[in-house]
Structure 1
Amino acid sequence: MNQSPEQVVQAQLDAFNAHDVDALCRIYADDACQYQHPATLLARGTAAIRERFANRFAQSQPRARLLRRTVLGDTVIDHEYVFSGTTRVELMGLYEVKDGRIANASFVFGPTVQVRTATFDDLPAMEALIARSGIALSKGFYTDEQAAAVTRHVFGVDTQLLKDGTYFVIERDGTLLACGGWSKRATLFGADRMKADADPLLDPATQPGRIRAFFVDPSVPRQGLGTMLIGHCEAEAAQAGFTALEMAATMPGVPLYRSVGYQSVEEFEIDLPGSVKVPLARMRKAIA
């Protein structure tokens, strides 16, 4: 009994994420074609499709995350993000299924977003993004007074992270969409204006690294940018020898951090000018 079109396309997605070229070739029909929409031929037949997938997997270790799927008879339309190294591409795949195999696939490639190390040249754009994000994304979590106070007195870039090369931006076509980083130093939160002079290095063998200063532009919320940035920071911190990460999360950030495995250790308040109290959550995750 043949699988349904949806099952066939799901099997294709699973094989892609497993980098299983043989399984992918079994899922595609012997005379299948792949196109870049509307009519640019990418591959025709098993040999060409095999070569295309093999080359792709040799270049990187891509993984696809399904956002939405629509099934229209024998046609399945997948909306996905495809992650590869420090980049993410938005993809729309249209799959025509016949006799339990993919007969034709047509792809629409959307914009590419990329993670890169932040520099001092990025400071004006990052500070502007942080100011926008701090106010807009605090709604429903903090009062207007709390949002204004924490944005003014706490949020901002810790330039030591720029010197250490552990602060990053996500950009698309030169436009900054998000920023955030990790730290091998003791400071848990706050921009330069909040810091004491001493910021000693942590011992990766006995102390958790820090997740620091994550902000997403309010024009692009809930598009996976925070998750992408956290994954990059975790990989970098693990490579530096850390086995756990810790942060002081604002209330707007708690749902995101919980969704990627961070657990609340304690909740506490900070006192800001104007007798404003702002709650934060200390959160932690083992990464090795």
Structure 2
Amino acid sequence: MNPSTPGAILRPLRPGEMPALVAMQSASFAALATAYPPALAPAYDAMLREPTYASEVAESDVWVAEGEGAILGSAGWLGQGDGLGRIRKVFVHPRAARQGLATRLVRAAEERARAAGCARFMLRAYLNAVPFYESLGYVADRPGERALPGGLSMPVLFMRKG
């Protein structure tokens, strides 16, 4: 199945799906984070498995792409006030990558945010994803860091749109 076809459905994350979501996000980061040293993958995976991560996901409107009986991708948004929405938790499983699914997920999150009154967007892009977000109209705002367990951090780029 091609996940970019209507066969992959977009729907809200359901209670009890955090383990499947974390597994998909971990696989996504491990496969696609070529802009980072390999040593960051275990620290990133540990961050995803911390109890605080589930509450971080829960505070956002996270939807998943489901196909082939599995979660293939995710994207959500969180209001920041003053008409600003933060796009977050954008991941696609490696077996569903490069088939348009991330674009569908981000556009759907933007649509939900617009319906809630957001006219502008921001996000924290992992360095390998910057060209993807540029293709969706995002521009660089400022560099930043994503803290990871063990005192590690990884560079990111904050981007904006609108």
Which TM-score band (shorter chain)? 0.7 to 0.9
Unaligned runs of 5+ in 1: 1-80, 82-86, 90-110, 185-201
Instruction: Provide the rounded CA distance (Å) in 2 between the counterparts of 1:234 and 1:149.
Output: 29
1:227 corresponds to which letter in structure 2? T
Instruction: Provide the rounded CA distance (Å) in 2 between the counterparts of 1:138 and 1:172.
Output: 23
What corresponds to 1:146 in structure 2? 40
TM-score under structure 2 normalisation? 0.85
Structure with higher Rg: it is 1
2:69 corresponds to which letter in structure 1? G
What corresponds to 2:84 in structure 1? 208
Instruction: Provide the rounded CA distance (Å) in 2 between the counterparts of 1:159 and 1:273.
Output: 17
TM-score under structure 1 normalisation? 0.50
Number of paired residues?
159
Unaligned runs of 5+ in 2: none
RCO comparison, higher one (Cα < 8 Å, 6+): 2
TM-aligned CA deviation for residue 210 of structure 1: 0.7
TM-aligned CA deviation for residue 220 of structure 1: 1.8
2:157 corresponds to which letter in structure 1? A
TM-aligned CA distance change 1:270 to 1:228, over 3 Å: closer
Instruction: Provide the rounded CA distance (Å) in 2 between the counterparts of 1:271 and 1:126.
Output: 20
1:212 corresponds to which letter in structure 2? R
2:28 corresponds to which letter in structure 1? S
What corresponds to 1:179 in structure 2? 74
TM-aligned CA deviation for residue 147 of structure 1: 2.9
How big is the alpha-carbon RMSD for the aligned residues of Structure 1 and Structure 2? 2.5
Indicate which of 84, 92, 115 corresponds to 1:239: 115
Please give the residue correspondences for 1:189-208 in structure 2 after superposition, counting only pairs within 5 Å: 202-203=80-81, 206-208=82-84
What corresponds to 1:281 in structure 2? 157
1:259 corresponds to which letter in structure 2? S
Counterpart contact for 1:161–1:183, Cα < 8 Å = no
Indicate which of 126, 137, 160 corresponds to 1:250: 126
Instruction: Provide the rounded CA distance (Å) in 2 between the counterparts of 1:276 and 1:173.
Output: 35
What corresponds to 2:102 in structure 1? 226
TM-aligned CA deviation for residue 154 of structure 1: 5.7
Percentage of pairs with the same residue: 31
